[in-house]
Amino acid sequence: MTAAIATGAPRAGPRAGTDGPGEASRAPRYRVLLVHNYYQQRGGEDAVVEAEEALLRAHGHEVRLYARRNDEIGAMSALRAARDALWSRRTVREIGAEIAAFRPDLVHAHNTFPLISPSLCWAVGDVPLVQTLHNFRLLCPQAMFLRNGAVCEDCLGRLPWRGALHRCYRASLPQSAAVAAMIGVHRTIGSFAHKVALYLAPSAFCRDKLIAGGLPAERIAVKPHFVDVAPPAEGARRGGLFVGRLAAEKGLDVLARALDEVPEAEIAVVGDGPESPRVRAHPRLRALGRLPRAEVLAAMRRAAYLVMPSICFETFGLAALEAFASGLPVIASRTGGLADLVEDGRTGLLVAPGSAGALRDALRWAHSHADALAQMGRNARAAYERGYTGAANHELLMAAYARARNTQDAGNTRRPTQ
């Protein structure tokens, strides 16, 4: 780590733009070190990281990505994997080297579990750290407040020993204990409350839950995700669509039971996962498997509605946003960030989570009110254009970076001299 960073000496501010006269030329240009731990199976978090990296580069910021991939875990012993999840000496060493070489204005982390670990909070030194929280891992070993197919908040605002007792992480006592220890230790030593300049929550629901869990309210901002999708062409739409991981928490059992009573409905299902056999077995669920993003968007332009019957706390719902951008209304559970995103009766329909009867009624309505459903789709596209484009998101991201730097500078000012 360089002497300037190690001793807390002031850093140079972000550079002014150099793209010619006008407002754009006066906008700050940041040097950003992105940090992300990729999962073994690609998911929405990975897509968000890549989209934000491209967005920053497109606006003239200098970006470097430090990434680890969970494929590495196969070569580790269980003891080493647990140790690294608690404190990764490799992270401390390599992030220190990245900062010394790249001299970022700030570090923007996404997922750090398990390989990067919360040791990142200490590895950045005095460089402001921003972290986007895609789930509730800092509060809950299972990350979604879900146990035995139902919402569980036993660990909310408490040390998460209950999560170990209930084997909430992969149904394993040792692994659950390791994750609970990671949360407990870093909560105790102040990694989460004091070492992160600003957390970014993708929805107001997520922010409120993080505050209830003990994270400082003054260090949490709401910044939704974004997509850039061209306006859809007008045309006939038909049938329903599900897009996502085929897992129990996504409510596929609820969807299957609802469809049993709506013979006029057929749902195309994009994705794979442990619930794939249930999908393939149902006569009105048409399994398409995993598809490239371009084909997913094409399917959204053909469908009449997207269905998201999640039984867990979705922090946002990237598939719902892609649907909005595609002019597709969303029938979703009234839970988590989905209830923040979908305006009931205007951009879609909200139903009670876990209720096959409520979902059945919504599907029946959708299939008997084609014109109203089409208007919801137009409303959804308008909502997307107002707040979820790349341009709008860049403004929010710049405000967040400025806030993080101010928070960090205020903390340095209060720190006593040695």
Instruction: Return the structure tokens found at 210.
Output: 């993080």
Is residue 394 within 8 A of residue 347, CB to CB? The reply is no
Asked if the domains at 3-15+28-132+190-226+390-414 and 240-387 fall in one CATH topology, the answer is yes
Q: How far apart are CA 176 and CA 102, in angstroms?
A: 36
- Predicted local distance difference test score (pLDDT) of residue 138: 97
- Predicted local distance difference test score (pLDDT) of residue 42: 83
Three-state secondary-structure class, residue 289? strand
Return averaged pLDDT per consecutive 10 residues of the chain, 418 residues in all. Answer: 31 56 65 95 90 97 97 93 96 98 98 97 98 97 93 95 95 96 97 97 97 97 96 93 95 97 97 95 96 96 98 94 98 96 98 97 97 97 97 97 88 46
Topology at the third CATH level for domain 240-387: Rossmann fold (3.40.50)
- Of the candidates 334, 308, 303, the residue with the CA atom closest to the CA atom of residue 321: 308
Q: Where are the domains of the chain?
A: 3-15+28-132+190-226+390-414, 240-387
What predicted TM-score, i.e. pTM, was given to this entire model? Answer: 0.90
Topology at the third CATH level for domain 3-15+28-132+190-226+390-414: Rossmann fold (3.40.50)
Q: pLDDT digits over 35-69, tens only?
A: 999 988 788 899 999 999 999 999 999 999 999 99
Cα 404 to its chain centre, rounded Å, is: 19
- Predicted local distance difference test score (pLDDT) of residue 26: 66
What phi and psi values does residue 181 have, to the nearest 5 degrees? Answer: -65, -40
- Predicted local distance difference test score (pLDDT) of residue 17: 60
Is residue 338 within 8 A of residue 311, CB to CB? The reply is no
Instruction: Return the structure tokens found at 155.
Output: 């660990």
Q: How far apart are CA 220 and CA 242, in angstroms?
A: 31
Burial (0-12, 13-18, 19+ Cβ within 10 Å), 170 = exposed
